[in-house]
């Protein structure tokens, strides 16, 4: 057990820090969260800068245009970009973290040659068409239909929770190609250009009143069969392959952001007064924030354990599920404390009276999605109970 960085890792960090210091001033200010065109331009512009400097696809293999960084270097990369307040994967998180790695593992040479550079250079943005209104936690029950017609599949159905669907060029999509087979055995994985006729994209208003997610409707959408990745009806396996790419780095930026939120909240508590005393003088509140800070410290340590395990064995194992359950609960606990601390200032989604409260209220909202997205905490607890503790399934 040694948490110190090797000389090579320190050099990687120093070079990256120097580069970030050089180029970030030229990036310009971050656009407003709902100025979608400007955000796309900002995110893809940053991706191009990464590409030109050799940092694009930081964890992708070198043979496919990536940097081939180790999990620890990937950790350092995210840590330094967060510290410098540089963007990370932004709007193309699906392309860079999910679709790209899937293509590397499963796509044909032609598919790879066309799509991988597009992702790495910031030319193409990808979205994901996996979930459906009736296929959430039970994803394999998806029903969006693809029927073979000559050299095309004809798609009919609906997808949901498609982040940035209205801004994407391509969609990694799971479709039902066999309705008779067991549910996992009748699914195929397709690359769907989002400008194909018959695709209707409708922004889905979140409880915060913003529109990061979309519903996507498919009405006789023709997609060439050559856009299929992997064999017909082997799409479930193709989709799951990406999970094996996870090296414990999935939540690094979230933990760092959480720790910063806590520091920031402590700072706010020291400035907000109530009955002649600052909120920080409230011992109960102070202890609760101290406890939350300690818990995020622990999750940062767990992140490093998961990454170290991945570096040794190539797999994260149970640590990923454990992390997700604990982190999402803790973010909601932080949200509750935020509300009590800010009191009536927590009732506005925007900053009030020149207090920088908006980001905390936004974080509090966003925390409610964390126990749902990427596997609900209930499904994750089933996984921990059954796969780690060996408790029997009950279906």
Partner 1 sequence: MDFELTDDQVSLQEGVRAFLDGRFPLDAVRGIEAAGHLDRARWQELGETGVFSITLPEADGGLGLGVSEAALVFEELGRALVPGPLVATFLAAPWIDGAAAGETIVGRFEPGTPVSVLEHPADLDALFTLADDGVRRIDPATITTVPVERPVDALTPLAIVEGAVPKGDLIADVAAAERARLVGLVLTSALQLGVALRATELATAYAKEREQFGRVIGSFQAVKHLCADMLVRAEVARAAVYAAAVALDGRSDDDPVRAALAAKVLAGDAAIANGKSGIQVHGGIGFTWEVDAQRFWKRATVLDTHFGNSDEHAEAVAALL
Q: Which residues bind partner 1 (CB under 8 A)?
A: 1-6, 9, 72, 75, 262-263, 266, 283, 286-291, 293-295, 297-299, 301-302, 304-305, 307-309, 311-312, 318-319, 322, 325-326, 378, 380-382, 384-386, 388-394
Question: Quick one: which of 64, 167, 49, 55 has its CA closest to 116?
Answer: 64
Nearest residue (CB) to partner 1, 199 versus 325: 325
Helix axes 252-271, 319-342, angle to 10 degrees: 20
Q: How far is Cα 372 from Cα 18, in angstroms, rounded to an integer?
A: 38
Q: Is 247 exposed, middle or buried (0-12, 13-18, 19+ CB in 10 A)?
A: buried
Nearest residue (CB) to partner 1, 322 versus 370: 322
Q: Residue 161 Cβ, how far from partner 1 at the closest point, in Å?
A: 24
Nearest residue (CB) to partner 1, 76 versus 89: 76
Is residue 86 within 8 Å of 131, Cβ to Cβ? no
| 109 φ, ψ (degrees, to nearest 5) | -60, -40
β-strand partners of 126: 170
Nearest residue (CB) to partner 1, 217 versus 300: 300
Structure-token pair, residue 146: 């693809």
Nearest residue (CB) to partner 1, 211 versus 285: 285
Q: Residue 101 Cβ, how far from partner 1 at the closest point, in Å?
A: 23
Is residue 28 within 8 Å of 88, Cβ to Cβ? no
Q: Residue 2 Cβ, how far from partner 1 at the closest point, in Å?
A: 5
Catalytic residue among 172, 212, 246, 295: 246
Q: Residue 85 Cβ, how far from partner 1 at the closest point, in Å?
A: 20
Give CA separation, 124 vs 100, 291, 328, 337, 382, in Å.
11, 43, 31, 40, 37
Indicate if 246 belongs to the active site: yes
Residue with tokens 């973010």: 331
Q: Residue 146 Cβ, how far from partner 1 at the closest point, in Å?
A: 34
Q: Which residues are catalytic?
A: 246
């Amino acid at each position: 057990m040694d948490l110190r960085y090797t000389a090579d890792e320190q050099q990687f960090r120093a070079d990256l820090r120097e580069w970030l210091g050089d180029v970030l001033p030229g990036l310009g200010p971050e656009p407003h969260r709902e100025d979608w065109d400007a955000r796309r331009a900002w995110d893809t512009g940053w991706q191009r800068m990464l590409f030109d400097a050799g940092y694009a696809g930081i964890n992708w293999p070198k043979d496919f245009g990536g940097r081939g960084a180790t999990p620890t270097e990937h950790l350092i990369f995210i840590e330094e970009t967060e510290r410098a307040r540089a963007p990370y994967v932004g709007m193309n998180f699906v392309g860079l973290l999910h679709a790209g790695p899937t293509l590397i593992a499963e796509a044909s040479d032609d598919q790879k040659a066309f799509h991988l550079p597009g992702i790495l250079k910031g030319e193409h943005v990808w979205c994901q068409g996996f979930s459906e209104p009736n296929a959430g936690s039970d994803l394999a029950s998806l029903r969006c239909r693809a029927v073979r017609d000559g050299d095309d599949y004809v798609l009919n159905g609906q997808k949901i929770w498609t982040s940035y669907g209205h801004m994407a060029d391509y969609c990694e999509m799971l479709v039902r190609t066999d309705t008779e087979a067991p549910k996992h055995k009748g699914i195929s994985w397709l690359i769907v250009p989002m400008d194909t006729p018959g695709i209707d994209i409708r922004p889905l208003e979140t409880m915060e009143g913003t529109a990061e997610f979309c519903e996507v409707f498919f009405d006789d959408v023709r997609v060439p069969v050559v856009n299929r990745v992997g064999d017909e009806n082997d799409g479930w396996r193709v989709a799951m392959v990406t999970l094996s790419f996870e090296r414990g780095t999935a939540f690094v930026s979230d933990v760092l952001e959480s720790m910063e939120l806590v520091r920031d909240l402590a700072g706010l508590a020291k400035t907000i007064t109530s009955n002649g005393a600052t909120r920080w003088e409230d011992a109960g509140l102070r202890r609760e924030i101290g406890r939350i800070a300690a818990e995020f410290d622990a999750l940062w340590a767990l992140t490093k354990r998961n990454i170290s395990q991945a570096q040794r064995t190539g797999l994260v194992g149970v640590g990923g599920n454990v992390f997700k359950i604990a982190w999402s609960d803790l973010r909601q606990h932080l949200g509750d404390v935020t509300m009590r601390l800010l009191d009536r200032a927590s009732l506005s989604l925007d900053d009030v009276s020149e207090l920088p409260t908006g980001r905390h209220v936004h974080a509090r909202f966003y925390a409610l999605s964390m126990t749902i997205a990427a596997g609900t905490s209930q499904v994750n607890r089933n996984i921990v109970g059954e796969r780690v503790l060996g408790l029997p399934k009950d279906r």
